Amino acid sequence: MGTHDFAAVRSVGTETKTTVRTVHWCEIEEKENTVELRVCADGFLYNMVRAIMGTVLYCSEGKIDPDDIPRLLEAGDRRMTGPTVPPQGLYLTRTWYGGAVGEMMKN
């Protein structure tokens, strides 16, 4: 959580002005044979959440030490984090907009 450069968990070759995002909260819950990841952020990079999930799974398999995640984010190298998991089960639950657009959507 927090404001970080998330280049390490985005699709390589995508163009954005910045890879810095703020993750407000992140929850991981294991239920029977599934793992649920819920993320709230000020924006997402292409495949960011899928790559975060792949990294979480690598941690659960002992392939990445969870304590190494800050160092991996700082390195910004996509090859050092977990795989991009398939999109099945991924969905957007809510969006928030600030300013005039956000005010109009409240009505």
pLDDT tens string for the chain (107 positions)? Answer: 899 999 999 987 778 889 999 999 999 998 888 889 999 999 999 999 999 999 999 999 999 999 999 999 999 999 999 999 999 988 888 887 777 766 666 65
CA distance 46 to 86: 13
Q: What is the pTM of this model?
A: 0.85
Rounded to a whole number of angstroms, the distance between the first and last alpha carbons of the chain is: 31
| Two structure tokens written together for 31 | 């239920």
| Strand 34-41, strand 20-31: pairing | antiparallel
CA distance 69 to 63: 12
